Amino acid sequence: MHKEKKQREPLFHIAKRPALPWYKSWGIRAIAILAALIFAGLVAMALTGENPLQIYVTMFKGNFSSERRLWMLLQSIAMLLCVSLAVTPAFKMRFWNIGAEGQVLVGGLATAACMIMFGNKMPNWLLIIVMIVCSMLAGAIWALIPAIFKAKFNTNETLFTLMMNYVGIQLVSYFVILWENPKGSGHIGIINQSTQAGWLPTIGSQKYMLNIIIVLAITVFMYIYLKYSKHGYELAVVGESENTARYIGVNVNKVIIRTMLLSGALCGVAGLLLVGGTDHTIATTTAGGRGFTAIMVSWLAKFNPIYMIATSFLLAFFERGASEISTIFNLDQSFSDIISGIILFFIIGSEFFINYEIKFTKRQKEVK
Amino acid sequence: MKSMKKIVAIVLAALLVVAVFAGCSKKDNSGETTKAAEQTSTIPADFKVGFIFLHDENSTYDLNFINGAKEACKELGIADENVIMKTGIEESNACYEAAMDLVDQGCKFIFADSFGHEDYMIQAAKEATEVQFFHATGTKAHTEKLANYHNAFASIYEGRYLAGIAAGMKLNELKDAGKLKGSTPKMGYVGAFTYAEVISGYTSFYLGAKSVCPDVTMDVTFTGSWYDETAEKEAATKLIETNKCDLISQHADSMGAPTACENAGVPNISYNGSTISACPNTFIVSSRINWAPYMKLAIENVANGKNADTGYDWTGTLETGSVLLTEVNEKAAAKGTQEAIDAAKAELAAGTRHVFDVANFTVTVTADKNVNAKVDDKGMLTSYMADVDSDAKFTGDTEAVKDGYFHESEFRSAPYFDIQIDGINLLDTKF
């Protein structure tokens, strides 16, 4: 008896899988999304008492039922994708830049500053060029500071970039109070509403078209940069092994700083598009958590810019859909957070099953 | 299922229209019957209304609007499926998107509840000229002069003043019982920003207390946020413990300050609605704006095409039922509070008493404080140029002191009283 107990094996154990063929790994992801939808539907049904089909229909309608909603979805995807693309080169280098939120904010802040200080004082085309330069510079500087510390003193970039977010948020708070209108309201309001100075031009009648085109261009650029350029190769090597990189003659510090400059500058572009192209104001909520969601988008897409279109679509779709459900069924905002949480949980969970397999102990054989 | 509902709705609407016309043609002479028929048909069955709220019902501020909207829609008989409420809409392009989405869904009445929504509502109003837009607490409708954009507020300073009377009476009671923390009664106030709406609110509250308790002083602190439960709780605790305040009131939207008061056993005058369930021992009374009368009026005017009657700017009063006080909590309040409030309310309504009567307070003018004010040698306010028409430089444009009192919420609905009067001590003004 005693002996038998000792020999008893656990019910299952977990082992790392060899790389799965693409159709299997995407199959697992598809199953996870389906499971997430079913589970989210069940939760929604429990809370609303509606038929789950109705809930999916609502989710779908929230994204596609009108032309404007479709554009809004595309805009959400574009902005999330823009930040995700920005953090990707750093991630590929294994530099955990979780400071995108702050980099986007300071980029937006620089844009707003240009609009407020130079609006109507220079021709609009010049103002927009100044805004582009300043926003990219601001984002780049915000990313450069932790990069230098990492390169020179090997500081922990995760904590450093995270804390830079809070500095950025406080900086925005300070300027909001400085520029607020009316006094004491804590709001800037729409900047240059009457003159539209510094507003990025609209293409045709579509407000979001320019943002979408710019982000598409960045996607293509990033794909080529990572896959075919020397820079892209170098940062991938640094990510795999710094020592290997050194051995083959790559200047690791230079690559870290260069990559973070790019990452920050692109975050600055996201800030530019949000402030100059969409909101025309700045607030601490302008980045809206995209800096953090972007980490997920980038990871789930395995740092591949083209896959990122799909992952950012997925997250934007669910977010808008969940928000529509809470409006239609009179649930409060926490409901959309719950739904987003469920979906993320499943999607992230699926990565586990792609990288590991569960091996059940085959008992019957032992008995024999 | 849904198409079935739609068909039924259309048939019912058609029937209603037929009924109205039948009523009109048959009994044209008898005014009463026509009137009755009109009343049931003021709001068409397919009339859709949309609401935009900054937070959801967990914020006392938004809850107050949500309740108002529900009440108004219920009284007007608007079916639930024709009421669309969007919660958690930020003060950014998200507000414009939400408003235009409501337009796409066929709403003819769109209402937003937060100050920062204003610019985006104006943007939407300029684009969707066939839809009427309404914005609470905003300041720009009377200068923008758009036919489909309206502001509204209420003379809540009168409600604050009445609540202040309850505070003053409580302080008198504490004083008589020898339970004051210091030698003179002192109140504490947690504000959000140094915004005119907040300044007008705490000053009227203070003047209400002072009207029954002449030696009262007040410390005010600001949190820099309309909704920050932790900051509001900490601010109230600081006022109670460090600044030795005997009573607390607040103008911010979370349960932070009331909870801190309940924990410390310090009386609290609340805002936006009763907090008695969470604070049974310390809640005295709360003033609030009832938005239902305005929403009802505005929706009816939209349905009947009489939007000019709503006006660019509308101020609710005690008389319109827009300024309300909750029931007094007998357990915490001083004896006779309700009677004192009722008496003062009658005088306010009759115009024999004014909240900002210049005889009741003094003002100190220095180089950087109260620059728009003029006072006589006793410190009594004689003139104040208020910034009624918002502009970037905050220039005073309208004389607000006339007939011996400051005319608040008369030149526009949103408050513009932003004078720092004597007796109120601002602990910080960084926000």
Whether B268 contacts B251, CB under 8 Å: no
Give the pair of three-digit tokens for residue A274: 């949000």
User: Looking at residue B347, what is its pLDDT?
Assistant: 95
Average pLDDT over residues A129-155: 96
Return the number of other C-beta atoms located less than 10 Å from residue B58's C-beta: 16
Domain that holds residue B17: 1-41
Q: Is B40 on the interface with A (CB under 8 A)?
A: no
The full length of chain A comes to: 368
Q: Is B144 on the interface with A (CB under 8 A)?
A: no
Average pLDDT over residues A92-118: 96
Give the confidence band of B8 by pLDDT, cuts at 50, 70, 90.
Answer: low
pLDDT, tens only, A224-247: 999 999 999 999 999 999 999 999
Q: Using alpha carbons, select from A171, A191, A183, A201 the residue that is nearest to residue A120.
A: A191
Question: Is the bond leading into A182 cis (omega within 30 degrees of zero)?
Answer: yes
Residue B82 lies in a domain: no
Who has greater pLDDT, B57 or A89? A89
User: Looking at residue B392, what is its pLDDT?
Assistant: 66
User: Looking at residue B252, what is its pLDDT?
Assistant: 86
Domain that holds residue A240: 81-331
pLDDT at A352 over 50: yes
Residue A39 lies in a domain: no
Residue A353 lies in a domain: no
pLDDT at A21 over 90: no
Residue A55 lies in a domain: no
CA torsion through residues A312, A313, A314, A319, sign: positive
Which helix (H) or strand (E) is B111 found in, with range? strand B107-112
Q: What is the DSSP string of A251-320?
A: -HHHHHHHHHHHHHHHHHHHHHIIIIIIISS--TTSSTTHHHHHHHHHHHTTT-HHHHHHHHHHHHHHHH
Number of domains in chain B: 2
Strands of the sheet with B398-399, listed across from one edge: B373-375, B381-386, B398-399
Residue A218 lies in a domain: yes
Residue A68 lies in a domain: no
pLDDT, tens only, A321-348: 988 988 888 887 788 788 888 888 898 8
Give the confidence band of A152 by pLDDT, cuts at 50, 70, 90.
Answer: very high
Vertex A79, ends A74 and A82: CA angle to 5°?
120
Q: Is the pTM of this model over 0.80?
A: yes
Cβ contact A279–B93 (<8 Å): yes
Average pLDDT over residues A174-195: 86
What percent of chain B lies above the pLDDT cut of 90? 76
Residue of chain A minimizing CA distance to B54: A333
Q: How far is CA B299 from CA A6, B85, B222, B295, in A?
A: 77, 15, 36, 6
Taking the C-alpha atoms of residue A35 and residue A27, their distance in angstroms, rounded to an integer, is 12
Cβ contact A186–B192 (<8 Å): yes
CATH code for the domain in which residue A138 is found = 1.10.3470
Average pLDDT over residues B264-292: 93
Average pLDDT for chain B: 88
Give the confidence band of B29 by pLDDT, cuts at 50, 70, 90.
Answer: very low
Q: Is A320 on the interface with B (CB under 8 A)?
A: no
User: Looking at residue B294, what is its pLDDT?
Assistant: 96
Average pLDDT over residues B246-270: 94
* B246 and B390 co-located in one domain: yes
Residue B248 lies in a domain: yes
pLDDT at B231 over 50: yes
Residue B168 lies in a domain: yes
Residue A244 lies in a domain: yes
pLDDT at A147 over 80: yes
Residue from B107, B119, B228 whose CB has the most chain A CBs within 10 Å, to mutate? B119
Residue B136 lies in a domain: no
pLDDT at A2 over 60: no
User: Looking at residue B387, what is its pLDDT?
Assistant: 87
pLDDT at B37 over 50: no
Q: Which of A185, A279, A327 sits opposite B193 (nearest CB)?
A: A185
Number of domains in chain A: 1
The residues, ordered by sequence, that sit 6+ positions from B7 with a Cβ below 8 Å of its Cβ are none
Residue B370 lies in a domain: yes
Q: Is B139 on the interface with A (CB under 8 A)?
A: yes
CATH code for the domain in which residue B274 is found = 3.40.50.2300
φ, ψ of residue B154 in degrees (nearest 5): -135, 160
User: Looking at residue B33, what is its pLDDT?
Assistant: 40
User: Looking at residue A41, what is its pLDDT?
Assistant: 85
Give the confidence band of B174 by pLDDT, cuts at 50, 70, 90.
Answer: very high
Whether B211 contacts B164, CB under 8 Å: yes
Residue from A187, A200, A281 whose CB has the most chain B CBs within 10 Å, to mutate? A187
Please report, in angstroms and rounded to a whole number, the separation of the first and last CA atoms in chain A.
17
* B33 and B162 co-located in one domain: no
pLDDT at B32 over 70: no
Residue from B57, B92, B107 whose CB has the most chain A CBs within 10 Å, to mutate? B92
Residue A133 lies in a domain: yes
Residue A250 lies in a domain: yes
Residue B85 lies in a domain: no
pLDDT, tens only, B52-80: 999 888 888 899 999 999 999 999 999 99
Q: Which of A66, A177, A288 sits opposite B431 (nearest CB)?
A: A177
Give the confidence band of A185 by pLDDT, cuts at 50, 70, 90.
Answer: confident
